[in-house]
């Protein structure tokens, strides 16, 4: 997962040995990612140069590196990047995979140097509200005209009623209830949130700030930073095109696929 250099609590959290170990074991695309890369981007991916921001332990690398012409994984947490270099050492040698320690607010890559930018697992929500538009602008800067941006973000609608929760046994129920009780306690000054388009909440596990945004505001932010042809996906990989449906979407997070304006 990516987080900004200044967000030291997130940096410490994602740099811890246990979190790195857990993330380095993951290797599956989420369903909306699979739909977007298989259908919306499709065969064009094989000719693309792809930047995978917030690569973490390489969850998306397994699936995407073999399907694009050039693959670069980037993360702010140096232990995550080192885990990727160790995990994919053979592919680095044979196919030129690249893994870099970066800050999404000021990426070291040239303008218009990528065809696809992926910022998954809600990584953009950790850079801080003040830097969010800067990170989106950086994604636009690095994309060629017509290039693809794919990213996910926490859905503030979910916070209203937490409809997205599905219990899997007593332990899951107890742990989730504890998490939410702590969330409300730590962030009690933020409620009520019903009229808010977005807000930052302190995460009870890591202590860092996490950004939540309503789908219609997420769309507005993306278009404002120089993107068009925007599509929104729920966690089952279904496109949500109707504005009233977007406004009612209560999945814990949603995926955006947009094109860099020509």
- pLDDT of amino acid 203: 85
Of 101, 125, 129, nearest in space to 10 by CA: 125
The DSSP secondary structure of 151-165, one letter per residue, reads EEEEEHHHHHH-TT-
In a domain, residue 192? The reply is: no
In a domain, residue 177? The reply is: no
79 versus 177: the higher-pLDDT residue is 79
Q: Is the pTM of this model over 0.75?
A: yes
- Find the CATH number of the domain harbouring 147: 3.40.50.150
- The beta-strand segments (E) located in 102-244 are 114-119, 143-155, 198-202, 209-213, 227-233
pLDDT of 20 higher than 60: yes
Residues 6 or more apart from 210 whose CB is under 8 A from it? 122, 125, 126, 154, 200, 201, 202, 203
In a domain, residue 167? The reply is: no
Alpha helices (H) in 71-128, listed in sequence order: 78-87, 89-95
How does the average pLDDT of the chain come out, rounded?
90
pLDDT of 24 higher than 60: yes
In a domain, residue 140? The reply is: yes
- pLDDT of amino acid 4: 40
In a domain, residue 168? The reply is: no
In a domain, residue 15? The reply is: yes
Summarised one tens digit per residue, pLDDT across range 67-121 is 999 999 999 999 999 999 999 999 999 999 999 999 999 999 999 999 999 998 9
State the DSSP H helix or E strand holding residue 254, giving kind and residue range, or none if neither.
strand 253-260
- pLDDT of amino acid 166: 58
Summarised one tens digit per residue, pLDDT across range 136-150 is 999 999 999 999 999
- The string over 207-218, giving b where at least 16 C-beta atoms fall within 10 Å of a residue's C-beta and e elsewhere, is ebbbbbbbbbeb
Tell me which residue range forms the domain holding 94: 8-155+214-260
| Domains in the chain, number | 1
Of 99, 50, 90, 45, nearest in space to 67 by CA: 45
In a domain, residue 198? The reply is: no
In a domain, residue 228? The reply is: yes
Summarised one tens digit per residue, pLDDT across range 112-170 is 999 999 998 999 999 989 999 999 999 999 999 999 999 999 999 987 765 445 556 67
């Amino acid at each position: 997962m990516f987080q900004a250099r200044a967000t030291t609590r997130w940096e410490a959290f994602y740099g811890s040995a246990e979190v790195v170990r857990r993330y380095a074991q993951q290797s599956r695309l989420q369903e909306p990612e699979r739909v977007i890369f298989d259908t919306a981007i499709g065969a064009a991916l094989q000719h693309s140069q792809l930047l995978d921001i917030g690569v973490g332990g390489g969850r998306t690398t397994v699936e995407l590196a073999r399907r694009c012409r050039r693959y670069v994984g980037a993360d702010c947490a140096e232990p995550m990047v080192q885990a990727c270099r160790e995990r994919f050492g053979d592919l680095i040698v044979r196919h030129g995979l690249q893994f870099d320690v970066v800050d999404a607010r000021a990426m070291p890559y040239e303008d218009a140097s990528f065809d696809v930018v992926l910022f998954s697992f809600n990584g953009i929500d950790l850079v801080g509200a003040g830097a969010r538009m800067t990170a989106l602008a950086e994604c636009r800067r690095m994309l060629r005209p017509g290039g693809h941006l794919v990213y996910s973000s926490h859905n503030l609608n979910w916070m209203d009623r937490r409809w997205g929760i599905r219990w899997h046994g007593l332990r899951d129920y107890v742990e989730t209830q504890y998490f939410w009780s702590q969330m409300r306690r730590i962030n009690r000054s933020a409620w009520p949130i019903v009229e808010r388009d977005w807000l930052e909440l302190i995460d009870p596990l890591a202590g860092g700030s996490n950004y939540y945004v309503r789908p219609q505001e997420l769309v507005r932010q993306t278009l404002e930073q120089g993107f068009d042809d925007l599509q929104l996906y729920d966690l089952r990989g279904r496109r949500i095109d109707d504005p009233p449906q977007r406004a009612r979407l209560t999945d814990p997070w949603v995926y955006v696929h947009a094109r860099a304006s020509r």
